Copies of this chain bind each other. A is one copy, B any other.
Amino acid sequence: MYAVLMAGGSGTRFWPKSRENMPKQLLNIIGTDTMIQATVARIEPLIPPENVYVVIGQAIEDEVRRQLANIPGENVLVEPCARNTAPCIGLAAVTIQKRDPQGVMVVLPADHAVEHERRFLNVVKAAARVATEGPNLVTLGIVPTRPETGYGYIRRGERLQEVAGLSIWSVEQFVEKPDLERARSYAESGEYFWNSGMFVWSVSTILEKMQQHMPQLYEGLIRISQSLGEGKERETVQGVYESLRPESVDYGIMEKAENVLVIPGNFGWSDVGSWASLAEVNPTDAEGNVVHGLFVGIETADSVFVAPEKLVAAIGVKNIVVVDTGDALLVCSKDRAQDVKTIVEELKDRGQREYL
């Protein structure tokens, strides 16, 4: 078994802490480990570091090698440009295939949070078993705990089997982020799961599916595969990537392929999608505040204060996000936390690159 950590995200929603060369997955948004380190540690009982691959962009290569000194240097796969998840997964697949044609790969975003690690590992184990039993694409679904409008959903079809007490379902449909009313009915129905972006399949299966549904990508991957170990890998990858259209594996493969299965999990998952989500994945004080740093609060509730370098004093504020770094300060209504990326765009427009 191999883990493939997708770590190409730019994480603009965690500005000002996240920057172009220091995106969310390299930050310790939760706890003391960075998110990518936590992802490696989480899967380690099942997959040793020498079987962990990371796919990243050039801008963060040095920092990733520093943070993940425990994984082999050749397992760090550098994409010359961002082409969404399908090429990323394909690149990892051909690389692992060269080493182990029977390999099973567990695809994990490097910037998610999981509360119950044992349960998570049990789901991955079951998914891996299903992935070896046939040409199956197994996706990890999350049992909804609230009517979330920020996630995509997976509608289950038939119950196909049970593995280690966990049900395996066929996928009926992938559903875009819903409005609140629909999110409520999805959460209540029991037929919908959150799309976590975590997948398990054998390298041979995913490459077959790419050959079938994304032939242009597949052709490029074959060229890359042939170049591996020949000393011209980087140039080949560069040439192939430049010719590719960005495409997600969800749209390119999952929504079209056969044998797409979902295994629902209930392990305290969060994609930690914005500063507002910190209360889901961090301890809060009695008033529901998440606080990183020294804090004095008066009638202040349900807020997020990240200012590890200084004392924060708050009076009479609710549902607010405050993040302080050396050079920038964010003050944001919690329900507008998704719009932090708009600030980043505005700074780009203004040419204030020192804050990006």
Contact residues of A with B, CB < 8 Å? 15-16, 296, 298-299, 305, 307, 310-317, 320, 322, 324, 326-333, 335-336, 339-340, 342-343, 346-347, 350, 352, 355
Contacts and interface: CB of A to CB of B under 8 A. Distances in A.
A339 B310 CA distance: 20
Nearest to A314: B331
Given A298-B339, A324-B329, A346-B296, A355 B316 contact: no
A317 B329 contact: no
Given A296-B346, A298-B342, A339-B298, A333 B310 contact: no
Contacts of A352: 311
Contacts of A307: 329
B312 A331 contact: yes
A293 to B, nearest CB: 9
Nearest to A318: B333
A137 B340 CA distance: 58
* Nearest 3 interchain pairs by C-beta: A316-B333, A316-B336, A315-B332
Contacts of A15: 313
A343 B298 contact: yes
Copies in the complex: 2
A84 to B, nearest CB: 27
A315 B342 contact: yes
A83 B342 CA distance: 53
Contacts of A322: 322, 329, 331
Contacts of A317: 320, 331-333
Nearest to A350: B296
Contacts of A328: 310-313
Contacts of A343: 296, 298, 313, 315
Contact of A329 (B312, B327, B346): B312
A339 to B, nearest CB: 5
A301 to B, nearest CB: 12
Nearest to A322: B331
A328 B328 CA distance: 14
Given A311-B352, A313-B343, 8 more contacts: A298-B342, A307-B329, A313-B332, A314-B330, A315-B333, A316-B332, A316-B336, A322-B322
Most B-side CB within 10 Å, residue of A335, A336, A350 = A336
A329 to B, nearest CB: 5
A331 B289 CA distance: 14
30 contacts: A16-B311, A16-B313, A296-B350, A298-B339, A298-B342, A298-B343, A305-B331, A310-B327, A311-B327, A312-B329, A312-B330, A313-B329, A313-B330, A313-B331, A314-B331, A315-B330, A315-B331, A315-B339, A315-B342, A315-B343, A316-B336, A316-B339, A317-B320, A317-B331, A320-B331, A322-B322, A322-B329, A324-B329, A329-B329, A331-B331
A25 B31 CA distance: 43
Contacts of A299: 336
